[in-house]
Amino acid sequence: MGQLQLNTSTLNPEIYYVYYHETLTERVCSNHKHDYLEISVILEGSVLYNINGTFYNLEEGDILLFNPGIEHYETTEKNTTNKQLHIGFQNIIFEGYPRDTFPSHSSIIKLDRHKEEFFQTCREMLKEKETGDCGYEVVLMALLMKLIILIIRELNKEATLNRDLLLTFEEREKQDIANVIMKYMQIHYMEDITLSKISQSMYISPAYISKIFKDETGDSPINYLIKLRLARANELLKHGKLSIKEVARSVGYDDAYHFSKLFKKYYGYPPSRTTANKETG
């Protein structure tokens, strides 16, 4: 297998947080792990990280790639300080590897030719997060995609890919099926989508589709579709140009009441609050 390949259908990160932290005093964090990916960047200073039971002294310019399940914690020792950027996200696939997995042998990488561009992009992310201007979430996603691409270019160049993580042919086939289903729903989410229609177009039984999709994404096809529709609805509501009923229809719900119940269940507040915030903002 050659170099890693990326495309827009498999590099579509969902960001959980972009978090800047400055430590000025002695500090020991608790050991923890995530069920998503995290990039941690040492912007300034030095810090001691314990990763899966081994200690590493890290300095300005070092980058940490934490795959799901990697245990880690940090220690800032006496008379040392540091500034870090942490980015939590999911929903990326590198061809031939499991979903949401960085194909690197080590959790620690040091950039060479892409270092200056990478850290400039980090600064842009922090500025964008701080200002919070219109569309900043979209800009953050674009900047994160750039960071990921720069990391992969470096991994490709250094030939530091972990081949032990490669999927089998059967696993890749299942991942491809899940990707096709996701792509189909991303394009047709406003239509009347059913498992039966998807199975007919792919010549696969509905039960098998549900099992593969759940195994690959951790979610059922219907829940993924609901989240997709509600995320798009939330964007439309923030723009404030359509009524709740019009928004519901534009994302595939003829019943505005049913749409409102789903929206409140997912976001914790009714869609009317989003439109109200727009009007008073």
Number of domains in the chain: 2
Phi-psi region of 246 (alpha: psi -120 to 50; beta: other; left: phi over 0): alpha
Q: Averaged over 102-118, what is the pLDDT?
A: 89
Whether residue 241 sits in one domain with residue 139:
no
Does residue 187 surpass a pLDDT of 90? no
Q: Averaged over 91-99, what is the pLDDT?
A: 82
Does residue 190 surpass a pLDDT of 60? yes
Whether residue 117 sits in one domain with residue 42:
yes
Could you tell me if residue 1 is inside a domain?
no
Whether residue 111 sits in one domain with residue 160:
yes
pLDDT digits (tens, 9 = 90+) for 227-271: 999 988 988 888 777 899 999 999 999 999 999 999 999 888 888
Could you tell me if residue 159 is inside a domain?
yes
Whether residue 182 sits in one domain with residue 158:
no
The DSSP secondary-structure symbol of 247 reads H
Could you tell me if residue 3 is inside a domain?
no
User: What residues are paired with 92 via a beta bridge?
Assistant: 11
Does residue 103 surpass a pLDDT of 70? yes
For residue 95, what is the domain's CATH number?
2.60.120.280
Whether residue 210 sits in one domain with residue 93:
no
Q: Averaged over 2-18, what is the pLDDT?
A: 77
CA distance 217 to 276: 34
Domain interval for residue 266: 169-280
CA 242 vs CA 34, 236, 271, 273, 281: distances in Å: 38, 7, 12, 14, 17
Q: How does DSSP assign 93-138, residue by residue?
A: --TTS-TT---BS-SEEE-STTHHHHHHHHHHHHHHHHH--TTHHH
Top pLDDT among 240 and 79 is at: 79
- The proportion of the chain whose per-residue pLDDT surpasses 90, expressed as a percent, equals 48
CA 265 vs CA 24, 226, 270: distances in Å: 41, 11, 8
Confidence of residue 277 (pLDDT cuts 50, 70, 90): low
pTM of the model: 0.65
Region of poorest pLDDT, from 14-23, 42-51, 175-184: 175-184
Predicted local confidence at residue 170, as pLDDT = 77
Could you tell me if residue 4 is inside a domain?
no
Predicted local confidence at residue 33, as pLDDT = 93
Nearest to 252, CA basis, from 224, 228, 273, 276: 228
Does residue 52 surpass a pLDDT of 90? yes
Whether residue 134 sits in one domain with residue 267:
no
Top pLDDT among 272 and 6 is at: 272
Mean pLDDT of the chain: 87
